[in-house]
Each structure stands twice: as C-alpha cells, then as structure tokens.
C-alpha cells in the first residue's frame, strides 16, 4: 500500500501568502519575516496534521457544569533537522506545546558528480516506542536526509506512525520516500515543485532555507 501524500496547497488558503513571501527574492531578504512565515506554515500544518491523530473524550469541569471534549491521546514527539528546520519546527511547538522534542544534525557532504551524500553528526531524542513521531524538515529535495534520519532514530525505538512534514519538495524526493519509508508513514507538504537541478536543488524552490533564516555559512 502506497504511503499517503498530503499536498496542502492543492486548496488555496492564506498559507499561499506565506509561501509567496518565502519564495520571493526581494521579500525573503528580510530574515525576520522569512523565519516568521516559516513558523506560520508550521503552525498551520500542525493544525491540519492534528486532524489525523487519535482522540479520546475528556471531561472538562466549567464553573457551571461539565462537558466532554476530545483530546489527543497519541504521544507525539517532534523531531527537527538542524539548522534549517528550526523556524518551521517552532510553528509546530505552538500547536503541540506539551510534547517532547528531538534534534538531528544533518548536512550535504561535499561530493563529486550527481549523487548527494547526507551526513548526520548529531542526534538527541526521547524514547520513541509506541509514539507518533513528526519529522520536521522544510525542504524535501532528494528525500535522503529524511530516510537517514529514520535510520539514526532506530536505536530510540519504533514509533507507531511517522509523519514527514515539509514546506517545499520535488517529485524526485516524493518518489524516493514512497520507495524507502516504512509503511506506517505519511508525508505532509505545502507545495511540490517542478524538479531537481543537476546539483539536486529544488526548482523553482526558494534557495537555502538555513541561509535565509540565519545567514550564509562557510
């Protein structure tokens, strides 16, 4: 069975304004605005994703009586990929404000030719057994960093479900995830672009999300 792919900009919404602003070469020069828009997109995606979680009724005691309200019963863990994922992740924490978090350090290693090699040199996460894990990484290019992240997380336990959350992706990355993610996975993404170029960057994409948030790296 093919894993579900949720492409959120298939229906127009206010999120398109934020997508426009993070892509526009003039507007994205404002780092504060860029980070805030990434955060907004994280908050909105977290809300949409929350509709697919499991709920159980809880009794609320008001000053005038009681009422039953469904609350999330899943144990959710947020995992983000440093450093580009931080603003997007911050939006998820606005919605999932009581949940545990984990962090992965990943980068593209220097390489020759078309193949992209992903190095992961840092991981910190809670136990994941029986939990619902959200992997938060804004740019889904080749998909290799997501698959490597899941490999690195194996010693922390087996989640009941993995939700992959991204802002912009390429068809090549989507296809790679379809072939390599475990069956208990879903992909959430705001927009799927045209293709990857010869350097495996998303076209038209937006550039380097980490650099736009925090400045260029050497």
pLDDT (tens place) for every residue of the chain, 218 residues total: 789 999 999 999 999 999 999 999 999 999 999 999 999 999 999 999 999 999 999 999 999 999 999 999 999 999 999 889 999 999 999 999 999 999 998 766 655 445 666 677 789 999 999 999 999 999 999 999 999 999 999 999 999 999 999 999 999 999 999 999 999 999 999 999 999 999 899 999 999 999 999 998 77
- What token pair was written down for 51? 């509709």
CATH assignment of 5-214, given 3.90.1170.50, 3.40.50.2300, 1.10.357.10, 3.40.50.2020?
3.40.50.2020
From the list 120, 80, 122, 82, the residue with the least C-alpha distance to 99 is 80
Q: Which residue has the tokens 């090549």?
A: 172
pTM above 0.85, yes or no: yes
The single-letter DSSP state of residue 8 is G
User: How big is the chain, counted in residues?
Assistant: 218
CA dihedral 164, 162, 8, 202 (to 10 degrees): 20
Domain ranges of the chain: 5-214
Q: Is 1 exposed, middle or buried (0-12, 13-18, 19+ CB in 10 A)?
A: exposed
Distances (CA, A) of 215 to 34, 63, 75, 99, 104: 12, 51, 35, 29, 20
């Amino acid at each position: 069975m093919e894993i579900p792919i949720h492409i959120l900009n298939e229906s127009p919404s206010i999120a398109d304004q934020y997508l426009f602003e993070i892509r526009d070469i003039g507007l994205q020069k404002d780092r504060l605005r860029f980070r805030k828009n990434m955060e907004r997109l994280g908050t909105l995606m977290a809300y949409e994703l929350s509709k697919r979680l499991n709920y159980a009724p809880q009794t609320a005691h008001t000053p005038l009586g009681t009422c039953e309200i469904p609350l999330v019963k899943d144990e959710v863990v947020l995992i983000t990929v440093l450093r580009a994922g931080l603003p997007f992740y911050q939006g998820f924490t606005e919605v999932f404000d009581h949940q545990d978090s984990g962090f992965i350090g990943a980068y593209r290693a220097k390489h020759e030719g078309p193949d992209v090699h992903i190095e992961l040199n840092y991981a910190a996460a809670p136990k994941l057994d029986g939990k619902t894990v959200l992997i938060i990484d804004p740019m889904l290019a080749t998909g290799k960093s997501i698959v490597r992240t899941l490999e690195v997380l194996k010693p922390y336990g087996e989640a009941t479900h993995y939700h992959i959350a991204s802002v912009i992706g390429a068809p090549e990355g989507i296809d790679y995830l379809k072939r390599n993610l475990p069956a208990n996975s879903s992909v959430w993404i705001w927009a799927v672009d045209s293709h990857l170029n010869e350097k495996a960057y998303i076209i038209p994409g937006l550039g380097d999300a980490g650099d736009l948030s925090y400045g260029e790296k050497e």
